[in-house]
Amino acid sequence: MTETYWCPGPWPWQWFRTCTREVPDPSDPCNAPACVEAKKRRDRARASYKAICEGLRLLNTILKVLRGVTSIPIWIIVALAIVAAIVGGGVAVIIWAFIAVYAVCWYLTFVIPIIMSALALELGKQQNEFNKASEDVLKECPERCRGDVSIPECRVD
């Protein structure tokens, strides 16, 4: 909506000048504070949901790589430890570093699922927050003002 207002200048010939400016339409229900706030809450919940989902996907990918490393049979690791003890020198350092990486991978295969379960709980909370905010958007905003009403989806596969 365009508003016209009096904006006199410093000179006498500018004293009766009028200016115009664009102002939001106060009767527009899309600009109602309740509608705007509900859409902001929904968008924040959607963004949090997507961020947590991306974290779960990343952890799942890391877990697959770790399981590939830990699928090496333990007898090979024991044989490498014996060879490192016999050979010594720079080769032994490399073999012991590999064994240390193998041990860290085993540790992380137990820790990452715990982190993933905590993130899954947080993902559920964000889904509930999104659902509540979406209900508020449906209640407070007319259909033409609602924006993206699709429900976010998280596939961790």
Q: What is the pLDDT of residues 105-143, one digit of tens each?
A: 999 999 999 999 999 999 999 999 999 999 988 888 888
> What's the confidence (pLDDT) of residue 24?
66
Q: Is 15 within a domain? A: no
Residue 65 placed within a domain: yes
pTM above 0.85, yes or no: no
The answer to whether residue 85 is domain-embedded is: yes
In the chain, the number of structural domains is: 1
CA–CA gap between residue 154 and residue 156 (Å, rounded): 6
What distance in Å separates the CA atoms of residue 123 and residue 138, rounded to the nearest whole number? 22
Identify the domain containing residue 119 by its residue range: 29-145
* 3-class DSSP assignment, residue 18: strand
Decide if 18 is inside a domain: no
Residue 10 maps to a domain: no
The CA distance from 117 to 56, in Å, is 9
The confidence score (pLDDT) of residue 115 equals 94
Flag whether 5 is in a domain. Answer: no
Mean pLDDT of 71-97: 91
- Say whether pLDDT at 103 is over 70: yes
What pLDDT sits at residue 12? 75
